[in-house]
Structure 1
């Protein structure tokens, strides 16, 4: 069995691995966002899911839109720059940006995420 690295719930180190959930209005833009975030070392990996229907209230009106889910693997230290870049690339006034802590994972994968999502020099 592979060894897991566990991170405490109260951890807040810049190299803590986190997962960011977001979305894009279509696959072309989702691919562009993923490409830019990885190429700029803001994320180690971005997974694009199958389009789904999102239902939400916006400015008092019920909206329904097809969106492509984005699952972004990065580090806590990259979150400010990642959020800013996502806002620049995204057409929504309020893009989804939810940060989920990673409680553990395969040590070699966690090290890879940290190495890929490094602070820009």
Structure 2
């Protein structure tokens, strides 16, 4: 049975300006074994305040499946490759999940290129 304390799995959210940026980031993260999978969700509308002004933008959401021990590398890759000055990078702990899927995440993150 899955014990979240054994392997702190994470779902990392990152908004991107378009699918091209999202796909480039997803590919880098998966190729470098810092993410087992990354989903690109198109068609978001984000409303936020930036530099005192309300902004509305079309974006994509990148959902990255990883683990806490890979978070620093995930953050570094996103910060280096993302076009935004201040990209959204938010990690939440996965409290439970299908045992086989979580084991698959472990296997993918332990493989070397």
Structure 2 length normalisation: TM-score? 0.91
Counterpart for residue 63 of structure 2: 71
For residues 41-74 of structure 1, give each alpha carbon's deviation from its aligned partner in whole angstroms, at most 9, with x where no partner exists.
1100000012211010011111111110010000
Gaps of at least 5 residues in structure 2 are none
Counterpart for residue 48 of structure 2: 56
Per-residue deviation at 1:119?
Answer: 8.0
For residues 17-46 of structure 1, give each alpha carbon's deviation from its aligned partner in whole angstroms, at most 9, with x where no partner exists.
110011110011111111111011110000
Counterpart for residue 5 of structure 1: 2
What is the CA–CA distance in structure 2 between the aligned matches of 1:114 and 1:75, rounded to whole Å? 8
For residues 76-118 of structure 1, give each alpha carbon's deviation from its aligned partner in whole angstroms, at most 9, with x where no partner exists.
0000111011101101111111111111111111011112123
Gaps of at least 5 residues in structure 1 are none
Counterpart for residue 39 of structure 1: 31
2:14 to 22, 38, 43: 22
Counterpart for residue 92 of structure 1: 84
How many residue pairs get aligned? The number is 113
Kindly indicate whether the alpha-carbon contact (under 8 Å) linking 1:56 and 1:64 is maintained by their aligned counterparts in 2. yes
